[in-house]
Structure formats: C-alpha cells, structure tokens
Amino acid sequence: MNNPGFVLTRKGVVVIDPGSSIQVGDMLLKQIATVTRDPVIAVFNTHIHGDHWLGNDAVRRAYPKAVIYAHPKMIEKSALEGANWLKNLLQLTDGGTRGTRVVLPDLAIDNEETLALGGMHFRIHHSGPAHTDGDIMIEAVEEYVLFMGDNIVAERAARLDDGNYAGNIAACEAALKTGARQFVPGHGKTGGREVVTAYRDWLKALYGSVKENYSRGMSDFEMKDKVVADLKPYRKWALFDSEIGKLISLAWLQVEQASF
C-alpha cells in the first residue's frame, strides 16, 4: 500500500523503499525488468517502519552487490525493529510475507549529503525528527523528483507514534525548498507541490486545534469533538476515523511538553 520507487541511471537502477516483504520486493524487481535489464546498484530506505524496507531481502538476493543506505538513527534500530515488523506483517497478512529475512542497511547517510550514482545525483534531506527520528527524503536532482517517505503522505491520516508534529511540519517546509517539481509521498498519489502543502496544512490544523483547546484547560478526550469539527476538510482522508483519537493524544502530549 506504500510507494516503492526506482530511478534509472547510466550504470544501473537506484531503488527507494523496496516494500514490506520479499514478495513485494520481487514484484518491484519484475516491474523494473519491464523497462530495463540493468542491475540494481543502490537502495535507499527512508525510515524505520518495516513496510517500507523489508523488501531489501529481495534486492539483496537478486543483486548482492547493491548498497543499501539509510539514516544513522534508522540503522541503530533496524535489527530490533526489523524483527518486530517481520512478526507483525506475518500476522497482518495471514502468512503472506513468509520467507522474508531482515536485511539491514549497509551505510549511513545524512542531511545535505549527495551521492553520485550512475551519472546522477541523489541529495539527502533530513530536517530532524519528523515522521520518525531517522527519516530521509531523497532528491533525484536531474529528474526534479523528491521521494519523501512518510514525512509526507497523500490524503491519509498517517500514524505519528514515533514522530513529532513540529518536526514533521519542518520536513514539509524543507521539501518545498528543494528543486523538485514532482513529489512522491510514502503513501498515496504522486503530484506537485500541492501534495506537500496539503499534508503540511493538515498537520498544522490538527496541532493548532489541539493547542488552542489545551490552552482552555481541556484534556485530550474532552477536546476530541471540537478538534474533529475543526478538521472537517480532512474527514474523507484514509484512516481518519481510526487514527484521529491517537493523533489528538499525541498532539496534546507534545503541546504539554512544549509548554514547559
């Protein structure tokens, strides 16, 4: 349900987020094979959530020399988190991801680093804790495309269990300052700057409503109806009903922390 991507270079294919399992990774490799016979030479993992990177297994089996890059904070957590995600996905898919192994990233990469791969340049953007504390966005410079991971998703009330509202808003602003013209979200349809501004405005509206009601002395559960009313333009977004209570609670805690 998320967005694996790939970029063709003169010397091979660069993959961004190969998906949640060896099965998904294999499907991605089959799609790549419909447009090129070149090998995969590099992989970027955008963040720690396994639905985006456990497909590393498929790439490593098919292309053992491919180098896998991620943020240092993701690499620190990837062994434990990978094992947890394997169990969760196996349960969620009723065994559909069976056979997937945890293949960890090889090399760390951080903000403002640029890799030259196959005659193209891939610039890394990390503005601090956002969707998680180890997110990277990857700018394919010559293609004017930004792969954003779950820092930005399209028309979706994304979970922020490991994230930070202010930091995620900052990541949206950082994305808008790049040279990109096309923006690939972690989930949902690719588009122009409107993909980024819509998600930024959602985060601002949610956090702002919680902050205002917090200032009136309301607890998270007391303010839920008022916050939901303020978010009327977003009610049709995927996962809104199932995630909104948790998102309000997280925002309330972060507002409280910021107030001290």
C-alpha to C-alpha distance for 230 and 218, rounded to whole angstroms:
15
* pLDDT given for residue 111 in this prediction: 97
H-helix or E-strand spanning residue 13: strand 13-16
* pLDDT given for residue 229 in this prediction: 98
Q: What is the mean pLDDT of residues 157-172?
A: 97
Q: Are 19 and 44 in contact (CB under 8 A)?
A: no
Q: Are 240 and 157 in contact (CB under 8 A)?
A: yes
Q: Are 46 and 171 in contact (CB under 8 A)?
A: no
What's the mean pLDDT when you consider all of the chain?
Answer: 97
116-163 tens-digit pLDDT? 999 999 999 999 999 999 999 999 999 999 999 999 999 999 999 999
φ/ψ (deg, to 5) at 89: -70, -35
C-alpha to C-alpha distance for 209 and 206, rounded to whole angstroms:
5
C-alpha to C-alpha distance for 170 and 227, rounded to whole angstroms:
22
Query: 37 by DSSP, 3-state: which?
Result: coil
- 66-88 CB burial, b ≥16 within 10 A, e <16: bbbbbbebbbeebeebbeebbee
Percentage, residues of the chain above pLDDT 70 = 100
Res. 260: pLDDT tops 90: no
38-61 tens-digit pLDDT? 999 999 999 999 999 999 999 999
The Cβ of residue 37 has, within 10 Å, a number of other Cβ atoms equal to 7
Q: Whose structure tokens read 């293609």?
A: 143
Q: What is the mean pLDDT of residues 97-113?
A: 97
C-alpha to C-alpha distance for 70 and 110, rounded to whole angstroms:
8
C-alpha to C-alpha distance for 47 and 85, rounded to whole angstroms:
13
| Order of all β-strands in the sheet with 107-108 | 5-8, 13-16, 40-44, 67-70, 107-108
Can you list the alpha helix ranges (DSSP code H) found in the chain? Answer: 22-33, 56-62, 72-92, 165-176, 193-215, 220-230, 240-258
